[in-house]
Structure 1
Amino acid sequence: MLSPFPENNPRSSVDQQRFPQGPATMAGHDSGTQHKFTGFQKYFNSYTITGRRNYVIATYASIAMIILYFKLRPKKQSPAVTEK
């Protein structure tokens, strides 16, 4: 049985060939530190918490703008009815 401690479990040569840099990192607080984004991707990406937060903020802001547009736009006025 394998020990849960990494010092007692040497990596096999197959693992070293498939994953030379080590096991993959799960998403989390510093999961995006290895990525160097520029431009638009620096602020909107799915790898960092900040990038995901910016997507949420942009989505909520666009939904609020659509609601405000339809609430505040001027109503169409029908022509006045004149009696004959």
Structure 2
Amino acid sequence: TPTAPTPAYKIGAQDNDPVKMYLADICTVTVNIASLPGISTTCGYTADGLPIGMSVIGRRFDEQTILQCADAFEQTFAPTAPKL
């Protein structure tokens, strides 16, 4: 499924605000309803070292193309994870 519109949460972080929780999933809803294949790959890191994801969405039943696209991105740009 697509990536959330925010960086990853810190381990153990919880947010009980239902609106924030809904908005964290806002990018996944329409893609899942449309039954489109999607993949998320790391495209960078925040100043705190948390991963930032990039979504690649494809045509229905065309998983091979999105896998190739994500692989090409990772091979070309391969962001280095910071030491935690």
In which range does the TM-score fall when normalised by the shorter chain?
under 0.3
- What TM-score comes out, normalization by structure 2 length? 0.22
Q: Would you tell me which structure has more helix in proportion to its own residues? A: 1
**Structure showing greater relative contact order (alpha-carbon pairs closer than 8 Å, 6 or more residues apart):** 2
Q: Which has the higher strand share?
A: 2
Structure label with greater radius of gyration:
1
TM-score, normalised with respect to structure 1: 0.22
